[in-house]
Amino acid sequence: MGTPTSWPEAAASPTVYRRWLWPSLSLPGVLWLIVLFVVPFYAVLAVSLGTVDPILFQPVPIWNPLEWNVGWLQEALQRLAPGGIWFDVGIRTIVYVVLSLALCLLIGYPVAYYTARHAGRWKGLILILIILPLWISYMMRMLAWVNLLQADGYINRFLMFTHVLSQPRDWLGGSSSTVIFALVYGYIPYLILPLFASLDRIERSHVEAARDLGASPWSAFRTVTLPLSKTGILGGAVLITLPMFGDYYTPNIVSMSPKTSMIGNQIDLYFHGGPQPTLGAALTIILAVFLTFLMAYYMWSIHRAQRDVGSVGAL
Amino acid sequence: MTTVAEQRPAAGFSTSARIRGWLRNPWGKPRFLVLITWAYILWSIVPVLIAVQFSFNATRSRTVWDSFSTRWYWGDPVDSVWHDPTLRHALVQTFKLAGADVLIAVPIGVLLALGLARWHGRGSGASNFIMLFPLVTPEIVMGVSLLLVFSELFTFIHTGTFAQILGHITFSISFVVVIVRGRLFSIGRQYEEAAADLGASPFVALTRVLLPLLTPAIVAAAAVVFAISADDFVISQWLSSGGGTDTVPIRIYSATRAAPLPSVNAIATIMMVTTLLIVTLGFLTWRAFTRGESKAGTAAEDFGTAFRL
């Protein structure tokens, strides 16, 4: 991508860009996002900090922040605290996401590294094959694995043929490993692409310089390539972590058991099955706040990584 | 490339020396990386191909292959995609949502991208911030928000097709902005300035100079919006009003949890082929327009990274 050109504000041609033109072009989009993104989020706040009709059990939102009632939010936080009924779900969600992220990095980094640096004339083809799953519906890819993991599916038949298993295993009956596997399968393409982009940008001369100065391949990788790809690692990690924390359909498809329920499943349950949307809204707010902190940490890490890269460049 | 030649051991060395050479040479091809990469590619694509294969199975099984048949596409008088009204309806609903999404989100997004790229006054920072937020918000948070705003505040909008379209547009606008803005940066401002120097008004410079230059990005954005809309499950599900508004992803989701027939594989295959065709067309258009602007290979990368970045 070309470098963004900057030029003196309005000095170049003051009469051409009238002040009103650009803000008014933005207006429809900005209005749309205020009405259908910002206001709806406020509605979740108003419901979670509102009350519940004692007879109909319907949520009664409170729109005025001065009258907010924190009772339901406190209730949701208590359920998430140790001893609460959501505590296990919260811990499980974090464990699933962290393990899936680790596996994605473990598989994705070598793939991105190979494609960026060693693929040679295969690079275009490999890149297309890596991008391809991004354009195949997530549900289609999950369906594919549900078929393979059936009791008489290819996976069980292969494992029995090779005598790894003596009888078919029930992969889809509430197994944590299946859920983590499905999460990795579903989200890994979104990690590989930013990783590839950051690795592909690294100048070969940097690594060559390290090697010329006597660094072993491993230490050249550790001290040059890895720090320079840190923004890609962080970017890819945040890109897949945020949606994974809100996922509920993946565990539902491959397990459908309360034993593998994640936070997203609880939110889904409280809106679609349960009687208390207010609690669901409170949980949604807690999730959003948690993810905002995660995002802030990511921005701060990116900032620090770029500063560190700056010092590598200065060396 | 000269470094590679210098560091590579001369021909005729023993295998062990060659292996040591690979290890010592950072530009060599470590074999385990080759293995991991191709294993990953097979792992990511073969299961989907098997699912496609079973959409052509002659029996009701999705796990035991019998023989080739188009029964689940149109042959079966009851359960094929063509004859089962729920499946056919899901297909129509998906195209309806994706079509409306492309028609509305792309113009709004293009205008927003132009505005945000050139507007530096009061409010531009906040607008940019609002634009980025939908990209990082988990879909379930958006689903809950839209459901609650339609049930508690905008009560004149009921869940169903219209609400689903509004939801799809809301998450699509930011993708359009990101793609178009990337193109705007690489175009730079010189063409508009040249037009202005030749006496064009800002509006003429915009419509006669800038918009034609943006065509590849607009086509790419339309393809991406179609793909993400057709792929979307969460927003469609949260804003659905029951069977009549189910999309293909919702049908696949509910079918995998019941006892599905290969017709589910068939409808998934139809959606996949359609999306891949549209995305390929978008990519080819992008490349045709940007040919000669950048070095070979980067068009694919630009187009690929434009997605969800």
Question: Residue ranges of the domains in chain A?
Answer: 62-314
Chain B residue with CA closest to A287: the answer is: B141
Mutate to test the interface with A, among B55, B149, B214, B240 (most CBs of A within 10 A): B149
Q: Does A181 touch chain B (CB under 8 A)?
A: no
Residue B222 backbone dihedrals phi, psi, to 5 degrees: -60, -40
- A22·B37 Cβ contact <8 A: no
The CATH number of the domain covering residues in B85-305: 1.10.3720.10
Which amino acid is present at A183?
A: L
Answer whether residue B48 shows pLDDT above 90: yes
Residues of chain A with pLDDT under 70: 1-19, 274-275, 309-315
Whether A236 and chain B come into contact, CB under 8 Å, resolves to: no
Q: Which residues on adjacent β-strands are paired with residue A59? A: A52
Pick B14 or B278 by higher pLDDT. Answer: B278
- pLDDT by residue (tens digit) across A61-115? 889 888 888 888 998 999 999 988 899 999 999 999 999 999 999 999 999 999 9
* Confidence check: pLDDT of B5 > 50: no
Whole-model pTM over 0.95: no
State the Rg of chain B over Cα: 25
Summarised one tens digit per residue, pLDDT across range B193-231 is 888 888 888 788 888 888 888 998 999 999 999 999 999
User: In chain A, what is the greatest distance between 2 CA atoms, to the nearest angstrom?
Assistant: 80
Give the pLDDT confidence of B228-273 residue by residue, as tens digits: 999 999 999 999 988 789 999 999 998 887 777 899 999 999 999 9
Q: What is the pLDDT of residue A311?
A: 54
- Farthest-apart Cα atoms in chain B, separation: 80
Q: How far off is chain B from A251, nearest CA to CA, in Å?
A: 11
Amino acid at B165: I
Q: Is A283 on the interface with B (CB under 8 A)?
A: no
- Which residues from chain A sit within 8 angstroms of residue B241, using beta carbons? none
Residue among B33, B140, B180 with most chain A CBs within 10 A, to mutate: B140
Are A187 and A244 in contact by the 8 Å Cβ rule? The answer is yes
Q: A86: burial class by Cβ within 10 Å (0-12, 13-18, 19+)?
A: buried
A165: which 2 tokens? Answer: 């298993």
pLDDT at B122: 79
Strand-pairing partners, residue B68, are: B57
pLDDT number for residue B238:
94
The Cα–Cα gap between B49 and A166 comes to 27
- Of A26, A132, A139, which is closest to B233 when you measure between CB atoms? A139
Q: Is A206 on the interface with B (CB under 8 A)?
A: no
**Residues A43, A237: Cα–Cα separation, whole Å:** 30
In this prediction, residues B90-117 reach a mean pLDDT of 94
Fill in the DSSP letter of residue A60: E
How far apart CA A85 and CA A68 sit, in angstroms, is 25
Report the range of poorest mean pLDDT among A174-178, B50-54, B188-192: B188-192
Give the pLDDT confidence score for residue B10 in this predicted structure: 46
Cα B89 to Cα B76: distance, rounded to the nearest angstrom: 17
Please provide the average confidence, as pLDDT, over all residues in chain B: 84
Q: Which of A20, A33, A48, A181 has the most B C-beta neighbours within 10 Å, making it the best mutation to test the interface with B?
A: A33
Report chain A residues whose CB lies below 8 A from the CB of B276. Answer: 132, 135-136
φ, ψ (nearest 5 deg) of residue B138? -60, 145
Q: Is A59 helix (H, G, I), strand (E, B) or coil?
A: strand
Tell me the torsion sign for CA atoms A276, A279, A285, A287.
Answer: negative
Q: Would you call A134 and B307 a contact, using CB atoms and an 8 Å cutoff?
A: yes
CB contact B284 to A (< 8 Å): no
Tokens linked to A130: 């890596």
What's the pLDDT score for residue B275? Answer: 93
pLDDT band at B307 (very low <50, low <70, confident <90, very high): very low
Q: B37-48 as b/e, with b when 16 or more CB fall inside 10 Å?
A: beebbeebbebb
Chain A to chain B Cβ contacts (< 8 Å)? 317
pLDDT for B308? 41
Specify the fold of A62-314.
Answer: MetI-like fold (1.10.3720)
Q: What pLDDT was estimated at residue B28?
A: 52
- A52 membership: H or E segment, kind and range: strand A51-52
- Looking at residue A251, its pLDDT comes to 94
Q: How confident is the model at residue B296 (pLDDT cuts 50, 70, 90)?
A: very low
> Can you tell me the distance from the alpha carbon of B56 to that of B60, in angstroms, rounded to the nearest whole number?
10
Per-residue pLDDT, B25 = 56
Q: Which burial class, exposed, middle or buried, applies to B9 when counting CB atoms under 10 A from its CB (0-12, 13-18, 19+)?
A: middle
For residue B29, the model assigns a pLDDT of: 54
| Torsional sign, CA A301, A305, A311, A315 | positive
Cα B113 to Cα A35, B38, B45, B281, distances in angstroms: 18, 38, 35, 23
ipTM confidence score: 0.87
CA distance A84 to chain B (A): 23
Looking at residue B257, its pLDDT comes to 76
Q: How far apart are CA A274 and CA A43, in angstroms?
A: 19
Spatial CB neighbours of B291, under 8 Å, sequence gap ≥ 6: B299
What confidence category does residue B34 fall into, taking pLDDT thresholds of 50, 70 and 90?
confident
Q: Where are the alpha helices (DSSP H) in chain A?
A: 21-33, 39-48, 71-80, 87-117, 123-131, 138-148, 154-161, 176-201, 204-212, 217-220, 226-228, 230-245, 249-254, 263-268, 277-314
